[in-house]
Amino acid sequence: MTTRVHPEQVFANEFDAPGTGTDPSRVVRAGAALETFIKWITEVPAAVLLVVEVVLLLANVTGRYLLHSPIIWGDELASILFIWLSMLGAVIALRRGEHMRLTMFLAKMSPSRRVFAETLGNFIVMTFVLLLVHPATEWAMDEWIITTPALGLPNAIPAAAIPVAAVLMLALAVTRLLERSTLRDCAAAFALVAGVALVLYFARNALAPLTAASLILFFAVGSIAIICLGVPIMVAFGVCTLAYLSTVTEAPLTIVVSTMSQGMSSLILLAVPLFILLGALMEAMGLAEAMIRFLASLIGHKRGGLAYVLIGAMYLVSGISGSKVADMAALAPGLFPEMKKRGANEGDLVAMLSSAAAMSETIPPSLVLITIGSVTGVSIAALFTGGFMPAVVGAIALCAVIWLKSRKEKLEGVKRASRGEIGRALLVAVPALALPFVIRAAVVEGIATATEVATIGVAYTCVAGLLVYRRFEWNRLYPILVETASLSGAILIIIGCATAMGWALTQSGFSAQLASLMMAVPGGKLGFLAISAVTFVILGSFLEGIPAIVLFGPLLFPIARAMAISDVHYAMVVVFAMGLGLFAPPIGLGFYAACAVSKVDPTRAMRRVWPYLGALAVALVVIVAVPWVSTGFLP
C-alpha cells in the first residue's frame, strides 16, 4: 500500500523546523498549548466544511441533472463555505509547513544561520498578517450592510474569514518564536524588519514619483529576497504588495483584501479542493494501483516496459489529485522495486519520474488550467481539450529516450502475462480506468462544469472503492480531509495574494509597459511565444505554476490575443514551459520532490535527468512552432 507524502517531507521545508533547542520552560509549553488549540479549531472545522461542501454540491448536481430542480441557494452557500475552507486551510498549511516555499538556500546555511533565517521569516509573516488584520477587519465590517441575494445573509460572514485567519496566523508565528527561537535571534530579526520599515517610511516621498525604481524595489528585489529566505511565497507576495501600496500610493489597503477575496472565491476554483480530495481517495481506495497493474500486465515484459507504464500511468492520473507530489507518490512505490530488480539505476528512476510529471502538466483536470480559466476568462472546456496533445508530444519524446536507454535492460526471469491475467487485470481496472476518461470527457463536452464533475468523481470513487476494491481504511479519512484542506488553502491563498499583487502591478502602469516591450520583440508571433516559453521555464523553476499564472497571465494573455495567438495555444506553451522549469535542477522544486518520493540523493539523479529534460525541451519547441498540437481538436 502506498503512503501519501506530505509536502513538508518532500521539500524539507517545515515552517516549524527545529531551532537551537529549547528547554521545557513555561513559555515553551504555553506556545505548544496554543498551537495545539489552533490545530483543533482549524482542522476539525475545515474537515467538516469539506464534507459539507461535497454533500451540498452533490445534492445540487442531483437536483439539477436528475430532478431538474436545482437548489437555488446552493451555489451561494457553497461560495460562503468555500472562502472559510480556503482560509482555514491556509492556517493549517502554515502550521504544518505545507505552504509553497523555496528552501534551497536555507538548506545550504549553517545551523545557526538557518535558525536566524527562520526567525526572520517568522517576523516577516508577523509583519504580513499585522498589515493585513486592520484593513481586513475594516473591510469585513463594511460588508455587513450588504446581503447575499439568495439567502439574505450579511456579506460580512464570508468576509470575516480573512481577518480571522490573519489573527490565527499571527498566533502561529508567535508560537514559533516561543518554541523555537532564542531571544538574541528575535531581537536581531525584529531590529532588521523594523529598520527596513523605518527606511521605507522616511523614503516614501522620494519613492512615490519613481515608478520603475519602486516596482523593482518592492516586487523584484523585495519579493525575491523574501522567497530566498524560505518564507512562504504567499507571504512574499502579500507583504510586498501591502508595503508597496502603503509606502508609494494613497490607495486604501482594504483594496488588497477585497482583491484577495475576489481572487480566491470564484466558484470555478471550488474545483481545486474537490479534485485534490478525488486524487487522495483514488490512491487510498486502490483505483490508482489497479490502473498500474493493468498497464504492467500489457507491456511490463518488454524492454523499458515498466518505464512506459510509468509514462502511461502518469498520463492517466495526472492532475486529478492537484498535487504532483501525490501523483508521484501514488506511482513510484508500485513500479520502482521491480524496475530496480531489472537493473535500473536509481538516478534514472528519479529522472523518469520527474520528467513524466513535467510532461503531464497540461493534462486535464490540471489545476493550472483551471487557474488560467479563472484569471484570464479562457474556456476551461477548451483548455481541457487542448491539453491532451501537448502531453502526447511530450510522452513520445520521453518514450524515445527510454527506448534508447533500455536496449540493454535485463529481462531474465520476467514473464509475459497470459491473456487470462491481462483479462483479469483489465476487469479489476475497468472502474478505475473509466473515471479519468469520464471526468475529462464530461468537462470537454460541456456536459457539466469542472466543479460538478469533480463532485461526481468523488462520489463515484467512494462507491467504487467501498463496493469494488474494498480496501479503504476509515482511519485515513480524517487525515485525507485535513491534507486536502491544507493543500487547497496553500494554493488558494497564493492565488489571492498574487491577484492582489497583479492588481497593484496593473495600477502602476507596469502592464502597459510590459505589453509594449513584449510586442516589440523581434520575430512576431514566434518571437513572442519563444520569449514567453523561456520566461515561464524560469518562473516555473521557483514560483510553480499557479502563482506565476495568476501574476503574469492577466498581463500576457491580452498581448497574445492582440498578436492573434490562440488563447489555448498560448496556454499550452506557458503550462508546458512551467512544467519543464518546475522539474529542472538545480532550482526546480518538483525535481527535489521526485527525489524525496523515490528516497534518492538528488546528486545521483541530477546528471541523469538531462536527456529526459532535453527531450521535453524539443517537445516544447514543437508545441511552440505547431499551433495545431494545441488547437487541432478544438470545435
pLDDT digits (tens, 9 = 90+) for 330-340: 677 667 777 77
Q: What is the DSSP string of 116-175?
A: HHHHHHHHHHHHHHHHHHHHHHHHHHHGGG-B-TTT--BTHHHHTHHHHHHHHHHHHHHH
Task: Check whether 12 has a pLDDT greater than 60.
Answer: no
Rounded Cα–Cα distance for residues 60 and 614 (Å): 47
Q: Measuring CA to CA, how many Å separate 546 from each of 125, 269, 323, 588? A: 21, 12, 12, 15
Work out the average pLDDT over 176-183: 83
Phi, psi of 359 (to 5 degrees): -60, -35
pLDDT tier at 1, thresholds 50, 70, 90:
very low
Which range, of 126-140, 156-170, 365-379, averages the lowest pLDDT?
365-379
Task: Check whether 612 has a pLDDT greater than 60.
Answer: yes
Rounded Cα–Cα distance for residues 375 and 516 (Å): 21
- Render pLDDT for 592-610 as a digit per residue (tens, 0 to 9): 777 766 777 777 777 788 8
What is the pLDDT at residue 330? 65
Rounded Cα–Cα distance for residues 333 and 193 (Å): 45
What residues are paired with 147 via a beta bridge? 154
- Render pLDDT for 387-425 as a digit per residue (tens, 0 to 9): 889 999 999 999 999 888 877 766 666 677 788 888 888
What is the pLDDT at residue 506? 75
121 versus 268: the higher-pLDDT residue is 121
Half-sphere exposure of 330 (CA within 13 A, CB side): 31
- Cβ 591 vs Cβ 612: under 8 Å: no
C-alpha cell at 219: 516586487
Burial class (CB in 10 A: 0-12, 13-18, 19+), 615: buried
- Render pLDDT for 222-252 as a digit per residue (tens, 0 to 9): 888 898 888 888 898 899 999 998 888 888 8
Rounded Cα–Cα distance for residues 187 and 123 (Å): 10
Work out the average pLDDT over 279-302: 80
Give the residue among 620, 607, 524, 550 at the shortest CA–CA distance from 581: 620
What is the pLDDT at residue 440? 72
pLDDT tier at 107, thresholds 50, 70, 90:
confident
What is the pLDDT at residue 616? 93
pLDDT tier at 5, thresholds 50, 70, 90:
very low
- Render pLDDT for 344-371 as a digit per residue (tens, 0 to 9): 777 888 888 888 888 888 888 777 888 8
- Cβ 557 vs Cβ 514: under 8 Å: no
Q: Round the average pLDDT of the chain to a whole number and report it.
A: 82
**Percent above pLDDT 70 for the chain:** 90
What is the pLDDT at residue 195? 94
Task: Check whether 99 has a pLDDT greater than 80.
Answer: yes
Phi, psi of 496 (to 5 degrees): -60, -50
What is the pLDDT at residue 24? 53
482 versus 595: the higher-pLDDT residue is 482
Task: Check whether 16 has a pLDDT greater than 60.
Answer: no
466 versus 265: the higher-pLDDT residue is 466
What is the pLDDT at residue 412? 66
Q: ω into residue 232 within 30 of 0, thus cis?
A: no
572 versus 265: the higher-pLDDT residue is 572
Residue 607 three-state SS:
coil
